[in-house]
């Protein structure tokens, strides 16, 4: 693969336009139609070393964000060292006097970063349980595929590329949705202030063991973000969505209803 400097403006030096990267991305998209593809795991500090502020979508970095600025800088430097040892980054000297370098990476790294950076829409799922908070960030791809970035509370990022149907089922399982539990008989509409005030009518929802906040953003209109919620526990699952009149509706849903909702959430742009 030719040497590339990340972030350069010219097409000739843009690694995301490299024919090898484009071919590999297309190949992975095709392969993921049959089964989900695991595209590797990275730590917080490795992700921070790979991505570029202002160009890549920011994601939670739960371990890195606990550090002081100087500690964070050192950790990111160690992340770059780790990437180098793993063969995922190579720093080639450009000017020995000025100490400048050119950062290069294998095609599979640029393919992964390209799928993150150029997704037309992004869905963020934030899960809260008694064990803490973790996330899945979903990036829309061609041919009804989604790249999932699973982020643990310890600060590890695992990437899986799969068809929308498989992605929806994985998201539901991660959210604690049980196919054997019937839909709760529950349908309540509340104002935002009532929800924020923990209205007593929401007590059944509050007993859920897993609470997931879902947001979707289109790259063409990043300021417009849609929000919803998915809550699951022994009594079943509940969905929350904002209605056209501004009220938030909480409704009990069975497995099929939740699946239909998640598939709509993962609709193509």
Q: Is 45 domain-assigned?
A: yes
Q: What is the pLDDT of residues 163-212, one digit of tens each?
A: 999 999 999 999 999 999 999 999 999 999 999 999 999 999 999 999 99
* Pair (49, 69) in one structural domain: yes
Does residue 135 share a domain with residue 109? no
Same domain, 261 and 196: yes
Same domain, yes or no, for 99 and 134? no
Query: What pTM, to 2 d.p., does this model score?
Result: 0.90
Number of domains in the chain: 2
pLDDT at 94: 61
- Secondary structure of residue 160 in the 3-state scheme: strand
Last-in-domain residue among 50, 84, 118: 118
**Alpha-carbon span 229 to 221, nearest angstrom:** 21
132 and 97 in one domain?
A: no
CB 184 within 8 A of CB 238: yes
Does pLDDT of 7 surpass 90? no
Q: Is the same domain home to 159 and 51?
A: no
Which residue, chain included where needed, has tokens 């049980």? 178
Domain final residue, candidates 81, 96, 118 = 118
pLDDT in tens, 89-116: 987 766 666 655 567 899 999 999 999 9
Residues 211-230, mean pLDDT to the nearest whole number = 94
**Higher local confidence (pLDDT), 222 or 121:** 121
Instruction: Kindly state whether residue 6 falls inside one of the protein's structural domains.
Output: no
Residue 4 lies in a domain: no
In sequence order, the 6+-apart residues with CB closer than 8 A to the CB of 174 are 125, 127, 136, 212
Residue 133 lies in a domain: yes
What six digits make up the tokens of 175?
């959210």
Residues 138 and 256 in one domain: yes
Please tell me the predicted confidence (pLDDT) of residue 99. 56
Q: Is 180 part of any domain?
A: yes
Residue 12 has pLDDT above 80, yes or no: no
Half-sphere exposure of 186 (CA within 13 A, CB side): 23
Q: What is the pLDDT of residue 51?
A: 87
Specify whether the CB–CB gap between 136 and 148 falls below 8 A. Answer: yes
CA distance linking residue 63 with residue 53, whole number of Å: 18
Same domain, 167 and 261: yes
Is there a single domain that holds both residue 259 and residue 141? yes
Is the pLDDT at 120 greater than 70? The verdict is: yes
The pLDDT tens digits of the residues spanning 126-158 come to: 999 888 899 999 999 999 999 999 999 999 999
- The answer to the question of residue 1 being in a domain is no
Beta bridge partners of 150: 136, 158
Q: Return the residue matching tokens 């973000």.
A: 225
133 & 99 share domain: no
What token pair was written down for 84?
Answer: 């180098």
Average per-residue pLDDT in the chain?
91
In this prediction, what percent of the chain has a pLDDT beyond 90?
Answer: 80
Look at residue 202 and tell me if it is in a domain. Answer: yes
| Final residue of a structural domain among 102, 118, 134 | 118
Same domain for 194 and 213, yes or no, is: yes
Q: Within this chain, do residues 130 and 196 fall inside the same structural domain, yes or no?
A: yes
Q: Domain of residue 56: give its range.
A: 11-118
Instruction: Give CA–CA dist 124/227, Å, rounded.
Output: 10
**Residue 5, in any domain of the structure:** no
């Amino acid at each position: 693969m030719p040497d590339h400097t990340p972030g350069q403006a010219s097409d000739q030096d843009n690694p995301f336009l490299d024919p090898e990267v484009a071919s590999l991305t297309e190949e992975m998209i095709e392969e993921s139609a049959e089964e989900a593809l695991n595209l590797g795991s990275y730590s917080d500090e490795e992700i921070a070393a790979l991505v570029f502020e202002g160009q890549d979508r920011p994601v939670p970095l739960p371990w890195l964000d606990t550090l002081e600025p100087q500690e964070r800088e050192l950790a990111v430097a160690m992340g770059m060292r780790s990437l180098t040892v793993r063969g995922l980054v190579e720093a080639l000297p450009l000017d020995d006097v000025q100490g400048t370098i050119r950062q290069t990476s294998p095609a599979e790294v640029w393919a992964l970063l390209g799928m993150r950076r150029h997704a037309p829409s992004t869905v963020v799922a934030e899960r809260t349980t008694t064990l803490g908070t973790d996330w899945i960030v979903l990036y829309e791809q061609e041919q009804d595929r989604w790249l999932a970035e699973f982020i643990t509370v310890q600060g590890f990022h695992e990437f899986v590329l799969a068809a929308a149907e498989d992605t929806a089922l994985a998201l539901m399982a991660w959210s604690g949705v049980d196919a054997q539990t019937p839909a709760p008989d529950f349908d309540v509409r509340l104002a935002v202030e009532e929800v924020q005030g923990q209205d007593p009518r929401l007590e059944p929802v509050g007993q859920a063991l897993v609470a997931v906040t879902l947001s979707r953003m289109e790259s063409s209109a990043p300021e417009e973000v849609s929000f919803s919620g998915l809550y699951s526990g022994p009594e079943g699952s509940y969905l929350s969505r904002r209605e056209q009149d501004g009220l938030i509706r909480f409704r009990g849903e069975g497995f099929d209803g939740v699946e239909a909702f998640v598939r709509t959430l993962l609709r193509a742009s």
